[in-house]
Structure 1
Amino acid sequence: MITKTLFAAAIILSASTAAFAADPAMVGDTAKGRTLIDAHGMTLYTFDKDSDGKSACNGPCAVNWPPLAAAADAQSAASYTVVVRDDGSRQWAYKGHPLYTWTKDKKPGDITGDGFLNGAWHIAQP
């Protein structure tokens, strides 16, 4: 009886943990204020050329601006959605804007990509 109860409790705990999975990004502080950051504390960015929840940053662009990858089974939640990229991979978006890191940011809090490409890249702010 105890084994069945523990097994049932484990199933309920697993289901509730999945339902309340953590957001794909967190909020951190930079010199420009509160910013969305990834799990490593790196600043996330948005790109003006993206539209309608679709990434325009592919190929060499995506090498310099790595997309915030979403797992194959990732589910949209709250302000975060999953977009499918041209290569079929999945990427997190915040309020419809795909999210990226910047390879030239070297440590948490760096914001060297803000304003890049004549102002087309912006830090993602909550």
Structure 2
Amino acid sequence: MRNFVAKRMSARARLAAGAGSAFGVALLVAACSTGSSGTAAAGSSSPAGASSSSAAAGGSGSTVITTVSSSAGTFLANSSGHAVYLWTKDSNGMSACSGACAGAWPPVTTTGTVTASGEAKSSDLSTITRSDGTKQVTYDGHPLYFFSGDSGPGMASGQGNDGFGAKWWLVSPSGSDVTSAVSAFTMSGSGTSPAPAATPTSSSAGGGWS
């Protein structure tokens, strides 16, 4: 009788031990699974963060100053073919154009690097900080501007303008002002002719320039 009871108790003990082991294994598997999920989630956040950083870097706003050609010679423009100008009222490398002037003659600004293309010289490119904190591109010490009256690439309707009390001129690759009349121009070496420019005017009427 004692042997029978002992055998029954032994069987129950083994069953309980087996159940306990199975439960322990289940807990271990669950823990490992949870740990793996946490690792995967943490790992998946890294590429997203890297992508955000890359996107921010890609939107840095770099500016290219290149050259365009006309019957009057070669002068500066941005990479989209919009003419850029200097203002003879500026002095000591600083801009004297603000308020309404800057509305009619938007400064060429950048939030990234400034590079030269065509016959433009990298050594002549720099920036100054305007009163609003923006960086304005300069060339050979001249702050550069667009003209709001130029409605698209290939236009130089600001050439010879005397708005706001001084002349506005296109800029040659040497940094000097271009004073000849310009009716139309093309991107250097492109062989394509943008829309003809309007004749020089003292008006500062609005238009697209970016």
Counterpart residue number, 2:168 = 121
Q: CA deviation at 1:31?
A: 4.0
Which letter maps to 1:28? V
Please say if residues 92 and 99 of structure 1, whose CA atoms lie closer than 8 Å, have aligned partners that are also in contact.
yes
Which letter maps to 1:51? S
In the TM superposition, what are the counterparts of 1:1-126 in structure 2 within 5 Å? 24-71=64-111, 73-74=112-113, 77-117=122-162, 120-126=167-173
Structure 1 residues 43, 75: CA separation in 2 closer, same or farther (over 3 Å shift)?
closer
Structure 1 residues 60, 95: CA separation in 2 closer, same or farther (over 3 Å shift)?
same
Which letter maps to 1:40? S
| Cα distance in 2 for residues equivalent to 1:23 and 1:75 | 5
Cα RMSD of the aligned pairs, angstroms, is 2.1
Q: CA deviation at 1:104?
A: 0.7
Q: After the TM superposition, which parts of structure 1 deviate over 6 Å for at least 4 consecutive aligned residues? A: none
Q: Which has the higher helix share?
A: 2
Which letter maps to 1:67? P
Please say if residues 64 and 114 of structure 2, whose CA atoms lie closer than 8 Å, have aligned partners that are also in contact.
no
Structure 1 counterpart SS, 2:109 = coil
Unaligned runs of 5+ in 1: 1-21
| Cα distance in 1 for residues equivalent to 2:160 and 2:170 | 8
Normalised to the residue count of structure 1, the TM-score between the two structures is: 0.73
Q: Which has the higher contact order (CA 8 A, sep 6+)?
A: 1
Counterpart residue number, 1:14 = none
Q: CA deviation at 1:62?
A: 0.8
| Cα distance in 2 for residues equivalent to 1:75 and 1:123 | 19
Larger Rg: 2
Please say if residues 30 and 111 of structure 1, whose CA atoms lie closer than 8 Å, have aligned partners that are also in contact.
no
Q: CA deviation at 1:53?
A: 1.3
Structure 1 residues 110, 116: CA separation in 2 closer, same or farther (over 3 Å shift)?
same
Please say if residues 42 and 110 of structure 1, whose CA atoms lie closer than 8 Å, have aligned partners that are also in contact.
yes
Q: How many residues align?
A: 104
Structure 1 residues 78, 109: CA separation in 2 closer, same or farther (over 3 Å shift)?
same
Unaligned runs of 5+ in 2: 1-61, 116-121, 174-210
Q: CA deviation at 1:66?
A: 0.9
Identity within the alignment, %: 33
Which letter maps to 2:110? A
